[in-house]
Amino acid sequence: MQVGVIAIQGDFEKHITSLLACGLGASEVVEVRTPEDLSRVDRAIIPGGESTTVGLLMERYGLGSALKDAAAKGMPLWGTCMGMIMMASKVVGRSQYTLELLDIEVERNAFGAQVHSFEDEVLVDGIDTPVLGVFIRAPIVTKVHSPAVATASYGGKIVAVRQGNLIGTSFHPELTDDVRLHQYFLTL
Q: Would you name the residues annotated as active-site residues?
A: 81, 172, 174
User: Does a cis peptide bond (omega within 30 degrees of 0) precede residue 35?
Assistant: no
> With the CA atoms of 120, 121, 126 and 127 taken in that order, what torsion angle do they form, in degrees rounded to the nearest 10?
120
CA distance 105 to 121: 23
**Cα dihedral across residues 187, 13, 111, 99: positive or negative:** negative
Are 174 and 80 in contact by the 8 Å Cβ rule? The answer is: yes
Nearest CA to 175 out of 48, 30, 24, 7 is that of 48
